[in-house]
Chains A and B, each alone.
Chain A
């Protein structure tokens, strides 16, 4: 990779910078893996839509570095004792980019749009399922009372998704389709243009009502391919990009690259797991699932597959979440013990074909994985090899995305290797409550335990943080015991950031973006290299 003749028009020492003091101005060049589909934040369907909406709109509340709620458009809020009424006091200085003030009625309008099925607010509507629109109202210009039919402990954080729209703009016309690329919001930046398939440009508002961020212009460049993005990062054509494990392993210590690129690695809210179909005649037995979990060679997966950039999981919560129970151990890789458990419950190789049987049925199952992921394939082969050693036959079945999801939703699978993205609030209701089997929710394991159901129901109604935390620790233990999922690893995100960008911090769970200040705390210490637009 090193090339001696390469010139660096701007080096770290070219312009003297006082690192401790942020400077205003400059253009940040961000990467967009996939082009946006809409800038109407209520109907947004992808995280990329949200990345840009975050610059243009303000949520009622922001999340801080530790995922705690802090003021956004609302400067303060109160929750009634019964947990059903949220009263938000808006920042009276707040204005939209067209100069009009943000009013309480705009918040009510936005909530009504979220609730209207015609808006097709796929990402948000579900979180406000319990909202009572009839009694939700604006009290004067800057107070909003939001009523819910039932209390929900996780509700507050969902107001982070309520990016408030000006009613006088969004009330006219076809809400779903007319406002995709004409956003008007109260965020620190205003929309400049969207060049389909190429870039999105936003610019800092001169009339912003709260603390102005440092960077003047942000250009999001659409680059699908990771290899191309890394080249663009090297050339200074973008300032930040996700880097793949392979690139990270190969280049993170290259002295020439690290002169201009800062490599960062951090954990976000997700994990990889095997979902067991608990209605399956064999996999329905939690002792079998536990024995199979003991065949997961976690250490060598972390070492060989992820080059040490992943960590073991013990249950449904990641170590960064407050709900995490540190007392629950990671299941140890122990095929001998696994075999002993299986033998003790009657799984024996009676016919000597190398596969265990019970009641004439061999211990075998299909493990479904998605096409396109090399690591998923390698991992499934590792599991297959380990399980074969103790007499369990695993067939790896590779399926295209939508087909695989279709099978999951229909319950037409035996085991599946999947990835899970978690919300900022740890409520596991949609994944593990028995009422949430598809198509109602994402309980892909068809897991049903009255004990866990009761704990989940209780925890999501519990408004006291310390009692809620206790309940989650019990849930963590219960799910680890029952193994509806076998948690494999949590893989860290790897990022490359041009060193001319300063003030970059990592949140506990959200990574670099979408928390406060997050990307708004960044500043630029040097102009981009010649060639890129200033």
Chain B
């Protein structure tokens, strides 16, 4: 077990290093750098070359790429990810400020999508092929294909502009500081409703269809037929025999979705003025704000690696056949 863990950690570290090198190389090899904008958007203004040279120098953009990476790595080792080129605030501060916003939004959306989607999926598997199930499948497919910017604006038009029951945008009201703690909580929740709804509807479909197909696949297998032949009732077969086996792909899905918690959604964040990671990522890439891009890469890479690690451990718990270490080979 210890050997296994140690090996996993070494692999994870190497993967992490690989991800940072790849991202660093990629973002730096895309044409254009942070300085191009100052010239491109200068209009008829005079730009002082001295100033541009100074900015290049400050961010080591005048050094060879491997040297730049070394500077970055050296800082990262002490958890210093430098400053944003755009607004010069420390990368850590900027990310720490926006991460909770994205996390809260996406956690709620994922939780609701899973809490509703998985039971519906299981129900669909049990009722597979019946008219009600077929109809729900079509419904989910439609839901999944609706573009989220459109749904977001539609929800906004209905609930915020016409009915005026929910806030139009933002994470809290203007009068937030004057509220009591309960009012503040309520205000936060009210602001969450529309963005969470926009994020949930498509993921709901993913969870429902994924768990349905996972369970259906298990039901088709011989041991289920055997259990049925043994005389076990439909519900008992599903619950005791099929569900536990169907958990495996669901764990994979969960492992894959956990990184969403920190990666944010550009569309929802921009429409609802949600000050989160998704918008930050997009803006940083467009502005070639290398330090921010790298900082965000570290966060997403870490979460992804940890999530896959946890998924592996859950596998072991869910399926006794999966064994750790050498003896399993």
Contact = CB atoms under 8 A, between A and B. Distances in A.
Q: Do A and B interact with each other, yes or no?
A: yes
A45 B89 CA distance: 14
Interface in B6-37: 30-33, 36-37
A125 B38 contact: no
A375 interface: no
A354 to B, nearest CB: 34
A151 B86 CA distance: 34
A405 B168 contact: no
B44 A225 contact: no
Interface string B91-112: 0000001100000000000000
Contacts of B270: 224-225
Nearest to A237: B168
A511 to B, nearest CB: 15
Contacts of B43: 270, 420-423, 442
Interface in B54-70: 54-55, 58
Interface stretch (A100-108, A227-235, A279-287): A227-235
B286 to A, nearest CB: 6
A129 B40 CA distance: 19
A120 B37 contact: no
B39 interface: yes
B220 interface: no
B273 A118 contact: no
A484 to B, nearest CB: 14
Contact of A405 (B39, B48, B49, B279): B39
A135 B98 CA distance: 48
Interface in A216-261: 219, 222-225, 227-228, 231-232, 234-235, 237
Task: Output the residue of A129, A196, A225, A438 with the most chain B CB within 10 A.
Answer: A225
A438 B39 contact: yes
B273 A222 contact: yes
A28 interface: no
B86 A125 contact: no
Interface in A397-419: 400-403, 405-409
A156 interface: no
A225 B168 contact: no
A198 B170 CA distance: 7
Interface stretch (A427-435, A461-469, A485-493): A427-435
A196 B174 CA distance: 14
Task: Output the residue of B40, B97, B161, B164 with the most chain A CB within 10 A.
Answer: B40
A403 B32 contact: yes
Interface string A365-402: 00000000000000000000000000000000000111
B163 to A, nearest CB: 9
Given A45-B86, A224-B270, A402-B286, A120 B175 contact: no
A367 to B, nearest CB: 18
A228 B273 contact: yes
A123 B174 CA distance: 33
Contact of B45 (A38, A224, A405, A430): A430
Contact of B174 (A117, A129, A222, A532): A532
B271 interface: yes
Contacts of A237: 168
A224 B55 contact: no
B275 interface: yes
A228 B273 CA distance: 9
B51 A121 contact: yes
Given A180-B87, A402-B32, A439-B49, A232 B55 contact: no
B137 interface: no
Nearest to A40: B88
Nearest to B90: A177
B170 A120 contact: no
B58 A235 contact: no
B175 A231 contact: no
B288 interface: yes
Given A122-B51, A420-B43, A431-B44, A177 B275 contact: no
Interface in B278-293: 279, 286-288
B271 A225 contact: yes
Contact of B37 (A180, A402, A429): A402
A176 interface: yes
A227 B46 CA distance: 34
Interface stretch (B113-121, B152-160, B251-259, B317-325): B152-160
B283 to A, nearest CB: 9
B204 interface: no
A305 to B, nearest CB: 22
B288 to A, nearest CB: 6
A3 interface: yes
B212 interface: no
Interface in A3-45: 3, 6, 37-38, 45
B87 A440 contact: no
Given A118-B54, A126-B51, A196-B275, A177 B83 contact: yes
B44 A197 contact: no
B161 A423 contact: no
B235 interface: no
Contacts of A123: 45
12 contacts: A37-B86, A37-B88, A45-B86, A117-B50, A120-B55, A122-B52, A402-B37, A407-B31, A430-B44, A439-B49, A441-B47, A533-B175
Given A117-B51, A198-B170, 15 more contacts: A120-B51, A122-B48, A126-B42, A197-B275, A198-B172, A228-B168, A232-B168, A270-B43, A401-B286, A403-B30, A405-B32, A407-B31, A409-B36, A439-B52, A442-B39
Interface of A: 3, 6, 37-38, 45, 117-118, 120-123, 125-127, 129, 176-177, 180, 196-199, 219, 222-225, 227-228, 231-232, 234-235, 237, 270, 400-403, 405-409, 420-423, 427-431, 438-442, 532-533
